[in-house]
Homo-oligomer: A and B are copies of this chain.
């Protein structure tokens, strides 16, 4: 788990090419030449061998640009399988994926008690049967996306409010039980990585993912790779202070973003206003239990113009928009991907957040920033975690014929 910090060795043109195709998708030989800074001859030779090895394949012949048309190349999707899992407080979502990010297997694994041992045991018991179905070569790594602050370099969950765990050496526990190299990262970062490589962000080299669910998490991607920071904690956007006098957060500070803009905040504000007697279509039948009102319904009401819901949603989205503006000024991303159920279920939330972001960020930077809604649902975390594990561990050395150790 505690490899060096570098992602993917650059040794050998074949490795470099595979890495490039994995991170950036389809490319022609000429494009590979430019991006890898290798010669045409080297690329040509290496590609022949990789096609021979059935790791790469030609797809379409493109439009001519005035000469011989280029041929697109991509990884052969069904040559190898990678595994990833996304953890929440009730279950794992385990996924198996090919090298193009397609899901080839998915399984929900509930665990009995809210303790690390139970979670690890459930995963350990379920995995053998899960991978039995997959007759292809499964790479000997697994990535785990978990909520909370994770020291990725040590596979250590430092602290997770969602799980109620502290200092859990999850990486080592799983590695011992599963016998495969294990990489642990924050699940928002994992979900963002799947968007970055295969989803809404796949056109962008520099992007930020923001997941809005019961909390708010983020991932920052530079050149399609995740930024970690000192201990793997980069991206804790949910604890950005947006209102110094705001409500107390579990982290000990006041006015953290996720106390003001995540789904629970929207639900609470809505209930409070309803109790104060404000009119709203959300009341419906008179015996309606306000306590059962959940976000999807509120978001839908806002999109349909219900004034109360709209007001609450816009308030929350404004906070997010301010943080997004700061992100734009600070990191100048090509795109921000808004993921998670809240942006997906509520268009007015997104509209407001983006409007505020555009207002409050520098025009020149804002103009260079695209906004997209996340592509993946609950499988995104597993896909991203699996990819991250591959980033960290193999760099395809396992796929190529052995030459020396």
Contacts and interface: CB of A to CB of B under 8 A. Distances in A.
B326 A230 contact: no
A315 interface: no
Interface in A203-252: 205-206, 218, 220, 222-223, 227-237, 239-241, 244, 251-252
Interface string A319-361: 0001001110111111000000000000000000000000111
B230 A34 contact: no
Q: How many copies does the complex hold?
A: 2
A237 B325 CA distance: 11
A262 B35 CA distance: 41
B368 A230 contact: yes
A158 interface: yes
Most buried by B among A6, A218, A222, A334: A222
Contacts of A10: 10
A20 to B, nearest CB: 11
B332 A330 contact: no
Contacts of A241: 322, 325-326, 360
B326 A368 contact: no
A235 B235 CA distance: 16
A166 B227 CA distance: 32
Main secondary structure of the interface of A (DSSP, over half): loop
A255 to B, nearest CB: 9
Nearest to A34: B4
A231 B368 contact: yes
A33 to B, nearest CB: 11
A228 B325 CA distance: 17
Given A239-B362, A332-B236, A322 B229 contact: no
A121 interface: no
Nearest to A207: B230
A362 B149 contact: yes
Given A158-B364, A233-B362, 8 more contacts: A229-B331, A230-B333, A234-B330, A235-B332, A236-B362, A239-B329, A251-B363, A327-B330
26 contacts: A4-B34, A4-B35, A5-B205, A6-B37, A10-B10, A149-B362, A149-B365, A159-B364, A229-B332, A229-B365, A230-B365, A230-B369, A231-B368, A233-B329, A233-B365, A233-B368, A234-B330, A234-B332, A235-B332, A236-B365, A237-B329, A237-B330, A241-B322, A241-B325, A244-B322, A252-B363
Interface of A: 4-6, 9-11, 34-35, 37, 149, 158-159, 205-206, 218, 220, 222-223, 227-237, 239-241, 244, 251-253, 322, 325-327, 329-334, 359-365, 368-369
